């Protein structure tokens, strides 16, 4: 089935309730960093949902824990970029990603002496916590990171377009790092029931429609000068590079990071118009907890700097 146009998609879906607040935050952040000639990376992260009911009990989800996006955001900060971290609510976030589950509580000690309670970091956890806490505090006190969140696919697109509108003034100093897993399908609003579907009515037949490809207006209209990197997730090795290259040929952006679901944390392929470069972590690196995102972002920062050199932009200040 053919998809509608991107204009029709925006016309059919109202902006989310917190949209104007987020738009103001994005505007202020981009203007402030633009003033200082900073580079900004917009990192999208996590999966979008497609609600099956307006009062949503059930939804279709796109797989992504937010590992790639949250780790990459930290590395962009390390390279001196300001970061807009646009993420699925409750998915992993920079810095706190290191302490998911019980990890943080396990690092703490508590002593109750009479009315006084003291909480301390266990001595052997200080070395783990301190460097992350220092980087977290530095990023926040410098106003170098802005978090905005989405849940549904339409919320994602409203935020993405707003972020692009704010980033366009930065021209080639803006990097778009589109790691979120975004649904290719949705249910047109008028076919979504208001209330929870009832099993007594029998098995529902749900027909999904194609989401229009937003990369086309993004690259051509919303941020024509930005350094745009998209991601391609596949489960079949044979499709991976051909589909990444096809996307690059079609949308004419700068890079596709191709990865397989099964191996995404230790292998990616960077596909650019000129080359195809594999990044592979060794078994030892994986065991040592090395983030593959450190290498992805390092290479991207190098290529972005090359791209900026003819514009005379000074290097990013780490």
267 belongs to the binding site for ligand PAZ (CB under 6 A): no
182 belongs to the binding site for ligand PAZ (CB under 6 A): yes
Residue nearest ligand PAZ by beta-carbon distance: 67
Residues 38-77 that bind ligand PAZ (CB under 6 A): 64-68
Among 86, 259, 304, 308, binds ligand PAZ (CB under 6 A): 259
> What is the 3-class SS of 31-71, one letter each residue?
HHHHHCCCCEEEEEECECEEECCCCCCCEEECCCCCHHHHH
What is the greatest pairwise CA distance in the chain? 70
Among 232, 253, 254, 304, binds ligand PAZ (CB under 6 A): 232
Size of the site for ligand PAZ (CB under 6 A): 13
181 belongs to the binding site for ligand PAZ (CB under 6 A): yes
In this structure, what DSSP letter does residue 220 have?
I
Sequence-ordered list of residues with C-beta below 8 angstroms from that of 23, at least 6 positions apart, any chain = 162, 166
* Residue 318 Cβ vs ligand PAZ, minimum distance, rounded to whole Å: 25
Angle at 227 between CA 222 and CA 232, to 5 degrees: 90
* Residue 234 Cβ vs ligand PAZ, minimum distance, rounded to whole Å: 7
Q: Please, which residue, 179 or 223, has the CB nearer to ligand PAZ? A: 179
x-or-dash pattern for ligand PAZ, window 88-117, by CB under 6 A? ------------------------------
Alpha helix (H) residue ranges in 142-289: 153-167, 215-217, 237-251, 283-287
How crowded is residue 61: how many other Cβ atoms within 10 Å of its Cβ?
A: 14
* 84 close to 146: Cβ distance less than 8 angstroms: yes
264 belongs to the binding site for ligand PAZ (CB under 6 A): yes
270 belongs to the binding site for ligand PAZ (CB under 6 A): no
Query: Measured between alpha carbons, how far is 317 from 246 in angstroms, rounded to an integer?
Result: 35
Positions touching ligand PAZ (CB under 6 A) are: 64-68, 179, 181-182, 231-233, 259, 264
């Amino acid at each position: 089935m053919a998809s509608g146009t991107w204009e029709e998609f925006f016309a059919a879906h109202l902006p989310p309730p917190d949209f104007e607040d987020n738009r103001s935050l994005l505007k202020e952040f981009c203007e402030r960093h633009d003033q200082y000639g900073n580079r900004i990376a917009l990192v999208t992260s996590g999966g979008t949902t497609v609600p099956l009911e307006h009062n949503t009990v059930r939804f279709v989800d796109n797989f992504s824990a937010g590992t790639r996006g949250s780790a990459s955001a930290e590395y962009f900060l390390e390279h001196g970029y300001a970061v807009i971290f646009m993420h699925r609510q409750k998915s992993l976030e920079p810095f706190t990603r290191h302490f998911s589950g019980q990890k943080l509580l396990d690092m703490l000690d508590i002593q109750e002496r009479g009315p006084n309670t003291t909480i301390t970091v266990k001595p052997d956890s200080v070395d783990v916590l301190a460097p992350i806490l220092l980087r977290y505090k530095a990023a926040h006190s410098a106003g170098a990171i802005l978090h905005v969140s989405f849940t549904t696919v339409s919320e994602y697109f409203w935020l993405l377009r707003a972020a692009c509108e704010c980033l366009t003034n930065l021209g080639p100093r803006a990097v778009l790092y589109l790691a979120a897993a975004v649904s290719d399908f949705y249910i047109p609003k008028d076919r979504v029931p208001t209330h929870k579907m009832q099993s007594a009515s029998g098995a529902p037949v749900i027909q999904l429609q194609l989401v229009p490809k937003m990369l086309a207006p993004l690259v051509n209209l919303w941020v024509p000068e930005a350094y745009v990197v998209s991601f391609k997730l596949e489960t079949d090795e044979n499709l991976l590079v051909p589909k990444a290259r096809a996307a690059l040929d079609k949308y004419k952006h700068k890079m596709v990071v191709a990865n397989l679901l099964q191996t995404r944390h230790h292998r990616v392929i960077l596909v650019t118009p000129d080359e195809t470069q594999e990044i592979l972590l060794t078994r030892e690196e994986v065991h040592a907890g090395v983030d593959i995102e450190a290498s992805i972002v390092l290479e991207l920062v190098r290529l972005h700097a090359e791209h900026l050199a003819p514009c005379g932009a000074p290097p990013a200040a780490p």
